Chains A and B, each alone.
Chain A
């Protein structure tokens, strides 16, 4: 069956699929725990009987019994090397059962492994695993393929590419969505649909996991965007375990009552999944009789997807900001990180841009000294699982773009394809194969045209070439080509003409790389903002920009209101309330505080950055260093302790205040030394250590910081410290106190050894302990003098023990 014939058939009638196979096999004697594929080969008539029963009940297509027929699943039964012949034989069996009465769908399902970037199975390995299975099913003579029960969009992509790269038979892809309408790796139905239909699926849909009621919602969500027929195979309600067997709570009649609604919602292929049987298929036939399928009739839309969400672009929706910051040009730190293979800066740029309103992230890693392809693949692998925003793959290298498109777990935007002949010939088929949208750059082998008319002519020429690969105007975004006005002041007007022509005449999305317009000028932000507003008025749909510029984002949001893209101004209202809330002072304004009071306040609020300046002002105003300590710092930190005790402050506030104190003391200590004034009474010497075998030391470090701030002399020995080293340090420093920390039950016993050794060697110092697994009782048990549950309690305990 050709893809065209398949589409024709689905346009004319609803294709009834089969129901569950596994549970039917079990009813007929297949034991639990065996390999179903092998068991069926050993008991072929059982499957033939089941499939003939489905066909008799109304199924127009049956699935081969190859759900676990891929190499990785068969390997669990030692059958990996026989996968091709097993698939071929099972396909022949279904062919025998179906005869000419029904179609045979080659069934492909999850491998049980997760594909990168979510799991450890390399994408190409996944494609290869599925390719083997496809070849086997083709050997057996299937009519079309069904990739079903897919939990992960990337694995579905791998399977779909394996079919597409092996044959030209129709292929349906069916994902599994939970009751919240997401796959288990977080993809929503519309995103899955757009990704898979762009990649060449002939039908897309869902099966398993939910009953009919929830599944209708998934189909209804997909339908407005479906360019291909939709498929549904719901379970027979919800499962439960009864006497060791899984049973479902919906009768065939109840199931059948949903069929009309499914077809009305837009389903073109329908069957049953877990818990269904020929009786359920009979109900589908009964309730679908005489009903015509709703043909795919998608609204016009331009969209790119990530693994989890979709970003739409168009004249009626708010302008999409494509975050430009993941680009090493002019960013030394990013350049260094990319060279070293580090990713922290990229992660930061990604998260910040999304938080600031970018709907898409441009990723450009072209720079001297790195392997661009390898780095781009690494970025796709890194960003795909951590940010929801789709990616715009930005490279001048066709090889880089092709490699990135292959592993990108969504529908990407390519930046860019121009009218240069070689580039068109190389990239258009690649973009078409992976279903990408692309930025059309209106320049050609002659260079950048000066006038809008020349650029528009190139747009038409590239689009005509793209049309041969199936691209529509919804699949392209024309770059207006922003030239710098400092070298040609009329250039901006030409760009705006291109945008206007695309919006009103040609009919496609547009994009500009905004900042180029102001290159070479002072105060560039204002020029960029003005140009953005003008471009918005001309119909601009996407802008490559830095979303951290509040001016730009406000202009964009306001333009969305004025061009009626932001319906009811709801986006603007939400954005404004958010920004005005954060810009508001937030606290009541009282009478002006004196300089010493400001120092006190700084400690109270933990203003480490501001304390020195405030202290300096207070000292210049006549406050002595000693008074600063006595009347500002000490009272403030005492109040902080009180606030912490009363849970008004939480731990970071306590530590921020302590760090502010530390900064203040570092400034005052030299002054105090010169005056000879001893304002802070030196407290006891304390040795601190995390005991032997224990590597957790953040708690101990925080205690050390607090103790220092309260005047103790702290000797921090670090972590994983032996009892001998601790006792030796206590002797050498003359410590009055030893603080021990342990986080695990296996290491807390070391505390006892330390104390025992200290006592044996005649040390009279006191011991305090802390850590997640110890308590007051344990302290008493091992002969410690006290236990502190947190850093402030440790300070108070130290003061008590050393008093």
Chain B
């Protein structure tokens, strides 16, 4: 063992240094305004798109973290966790109405891709920058998808699963200020993330989410 004894992850947070996340191509295209029924690409444009997506995937280093916390109380607009954390949102409360625990999650596509996007848009090819940007957005989302799938795999053997949807701060009536609560509970400094005064995550292609754990009853 190394000099210092191995400690458990801080407060039960599990950190993932490399998530094998693969964003869905159709989502990337949709974000770029592609419509399957109408949009027509030449061979060159298709090749340009594919190269852009491939390049983005190379530069995205998807990392993540998650933490499970039991729910102490869930009213019609307030969710109180066992550690004293409170979320105020009627939409989230409805989602978690059958949940015994919440899972807080974070995923980031990393900073290398952001640097490249900025370079392309300012001095290179803005079109390529857009493709990189869209791919990175969905790579971060795919990181969350991977964690959801992973957690469902582990929960299933206990007759449990995650709620079919997940909430992110800024979604519905869950205000963006909740970013700070999740950021701190996951200790995301440790992953190299930063939260601005206005609750924006840096690197920009980073996302936070909350889902509930509920029993499989049917």
Contacts and interface: CB of A to CB of B under 8 A. Distances in A.
Nearest to B30: A650
Contacts of B20: 185-186, 308, 385-386
Nearest to B169: A745
Interface stretch (A114-122, A445-453, A522-530, A618-626): A114-122
A711 interface: no
Contact of A693 (B16, B121, B154, B198): B198
A628 B130 CA distance: 29
B14 A647 contact: no
B216 A240 contact: yes
B17 A586 contact: no
B205 to A, nearest CB: 10
Interface stretch (B38-46, B73-81, B83-91): B38-46
A284 to B, nearest CB: 20
B39 to A, nearest CB: 5
B111 to A, nearest CB: 12
A392 to B, nearest CB: 20
A178 B153 contact: yes
A326 B142 CA distance: 28
A245 B160 CA distance: 10
A183 B9 CA distance: 22
A76 B8 contact: yes
Interface string A362-375: 00000000000000
A800 interface: no
B35 A647 contact: yes
Given A385-B18, A587-B43, A656-B127, A747 B156 contact: no
Given A385-B18, A650-B33, A744-B170, A241 B200 contact: no
B2 A114 contact: no
Contacts of A113: 8-9, 14
Nearest to B149: A184
A694 B12 CA distance: 32
Given A348-B58, A701-B121, A745-B176, A209 B38 contact: no
B18 A118 contact: yes
A290 interface: no
Contacts of A745: 170, 175-176
Contacts of B19: 118
B130 A75 contact: no
A647 B1 contact: no
Nearest to A235: B157
A167 interface: no
B164 interface: no
A274 B159 CA distance: 10
Contact of B130 (A80, A208, A651): A651
Given A344-B112, A646-B38, A746-B199, A116 B17 contact: yes
A659 B218 contact: no
Nearest to B132: A698
Given A118-B17, A246-B158, A698-B117, A587 B42 contact: yes
Contacts of A385: 17-18, 20
A639 interface: no
A682 to B, nearest CB: 22
Interface in A627-662: 644, 646-653, 655-656, 658-659
B58 A347 contact: yes
B189 to A, nearest CB: 13
A790 interface: yes
Interface string B49-72: 100101101110000000000000
Nearest to B214: A241
Contacts of A245: 159
Interface in A85-119: 112-114, 116-119
A652 B117 CA distance: 14
A351 interface: yes
Given A114-B14, A650-B34, A75 B8 contact: yes
Given A112-B14, A125-B1, A184-B154, A696 B204 contact: yes
Contact of A746 (B117, B121, B127, B176): B176
B1 A698 contact: no
B187 to A, nearest CB: 11
A79 to B, nearest CB: 11
Nearest to B158: A246
A334 interface: no
Interface residues of A, number: 82
A695 B176 contact: no
Nearest to A352: B54
B197 A239 contact: no
Considering residues A128, A246, A694, which has the most beta carbons from chain B within 10 angstroms of its beta carbon? A246
Interface string A170-192: 00000000100000111000000
A652 B150 contact: no
B15 interface: yes
B170 A347 contact: no
Nearest to A110: B154
A705 B131 CA distance: 16
Contact of A653 (B15, B41, B150, B204): B41
Contacts of B58: 344, 347-348, 351, 386
A240 B126 contact: no
B167 interface: no
Interface string B188-218: 0000000011111010100000000001111
B159 A151 contact: no
A56 interface: no
Nearest to A607: B44
Contacts of A698: 117, 121, 129-130, 133
A605 interface: yes
A124 B4 CA distance: 12
A644 B34 CA distance: 10
A347 B196 CA distance: 31
B43 A744 contact: no
A702 interface: yes
Contacts of B103: none
A688 to B, nearest CB: 13
Contact of B159 (A114, A128, A247, A605): A247
Contacts of A72: 6, 8
A191 to B, nearest CB: 14
Interface in A239-256: 239-242, 244-247
B200 to A, nearest CB: 6
A53 B17 CA distance: 43
A269 B200 CA distance: 53
A114 B133 contact: no
A607 to B, nearest CB: 8
Contact of B160 (A238, A241, A608): A241
B198 A652 contact: no
B89 to A, nearest CB: 13
A83 B201 CA distance: 40
A71 interface: yes
A672 interface: no
Contact of A119 (B14, B32, B59, B202): B14
Contacts of B112: 344
B168 to A, nearest CB: 12
Given A184-B153, A587-B42, 17 more contacts: A118-B19, A131-B1, A186-B20, A209-B156, A239-B156, A240-B216, A240-B217, A241-B160, A351-B58, A385-B18, A646-B38, A650-B41, A652-B32, A659-B127, A693-B200, A745-B176, A746-B198
9 contacts: A184-B150, A240-B217, A242-B159, A247-B159, A348-B55, A649-B39, A650-B32, A656-B45, A790-B33
Interface of B: 1-2, 5-9, 12, 14-20, 29, 32-35, 38-45, 47-49, 52, 54-55, 57-59, 112, 117, 121-122, 125-131, 133, 149-150, 153-154, 156-160, 170, 175-177, 196-200, 202, 204, 215-218
List 6 A-B pairs, minimum CB-CB distance, nearest first.
A241-B215, A128-B1, A385-B18, A246-B159, A693-B198, A241-B159
